[in-house]
Amino acid sequence: MRHTIAVLVENRPGVLVHIAGLIARRAFNIESITAGYTEEADVTRITIVVEGDNRNLEQVVNQLSKLVDVIKIVELTAEPLIERELALIKVKARPETRSDIVDIVEIFRAKIVDVNRETMVIELTGEETKIDALCEVLADHGIVEMVRTGKVALSRKPGAAKDSE
């Protein structure tokens, strides 16, 4: 099973490496990891998606909790949750296929952020499955290259992760 966890850490150099290193050396697989500032400048929020059963997850959380720079860990999987990922997809776009692609972009409520004679770059923010679906449709036109950010997630509950029990 896949678990999404939010890890609040001290915003210090090397902290992301430390977190990722700990998970890797305990032999847990990281599906995605993202990091960025939060509403508090000295706190970084790292969103990690790991694959494993509940006991694996318990170990990941307990081991991460031991790191002095880790302020808080919240398992988000069980909560009502907003999950988003951002993708930039460069797709082959000849004049005769362009309108096709524009239609697809419309349907997915994605955005065309760059066009030239041979390609277009499409931006899409959404749940992982939605991005997967867009990629699948665009694959028919030929994806030149793409980049995805990995998942970020926020609980729908009122209040912040840092304050939760």
Partner 1 sequence: MKMTGAQAIVTSLEKEGVELIFGYPGGQVLPLYDALYDCKLRHVLTRHEQGAAHAADGYARATGKVGVCFATSGPGATNLITGIATAYMDSVPMVCITGQVPLSVIGKDSFQEADITGITAPITKHNYLVKNAKDLPRVIKEAFYIARTGRPGPVVIDVPKCLMTTTIDFEYPETVQLRGYKPQAEGKPAEVEAVAQALAEAKKPLFFVGGGVINAEAAPLLRRVVETHRIPVIGSLMGLGAIPVTDPLFLGMVGMHGTVAANRAVMECDLLVGIGVRFDDRVTGLLARFAANARIAHFDIDRAEVNKNVVADLAVVGDLRWSLAALESAMADLGGEGGRRWEDWRLQVTRWSEEAPLSYQKSDDVIKPQSVIEEIDRQTKSEAVIVTDVGQHQMWAAQYCRFQRPRSFITSGGLGTMGYGLPAAIGAQMGQPNEPVVLISGDGSFLMNCQELATAVEHQLPLKVAILNNNVLGMVRQWQKLFFNQRYSYTRFANGGTDYVRLAEAFGATGLRAETPEELPEVIAKALATEGPVVMDIRVCADENVLPMVPAGAPLDQMINGEVK
Using CB under 8 A as the criterion, which residues of the chain lie in contact with partner 1 when the complex forms?
9-10, 13-14, 17-18, 21-22, 25, 55, 58-59, 62-63, 65-72
CB of 75 to partner 1, least distance (A): 15
40 or 118: whose CB is closer to partner 1? 40
CB of 69 to partner 1, least distance (A): 6
25 or 156: whose CB is closer to partner 1? 25
CB of 47 to partner 1, least distance (A): 18
Distances (CA, A) of 89 to 1, 69, 112, 132: 28, 35, 10, 11
53 or 96: whose CB is closer to partner 1? 53
Distances (CA, A) of 95 to 101, 102, 104, 110: 10, 11, 15, 20
CB of 7 to partner 1, least distance (A): 10
Q: What residues contact 76, with CB distance under 8 A and at least 6 apart?
A: 4, 5, 6, 153, 155
CB of 67 to partner 1, least distance (A): 7
Phi, psi of 141, rounded to the nearest 5 degrees: -90, -15
N- to C-terminal Cα distance for the chain?
Answer: 24
Q: What residues contact 129, with CB distance under 8 A and at least 6 apart?
A: none
58 or 103: whose CB is closer to partner 1? 58
17 or 147: whose CB is closer to partner 1? 17
C-alpha dihedral sign at 57, 62, 64, 70: positive
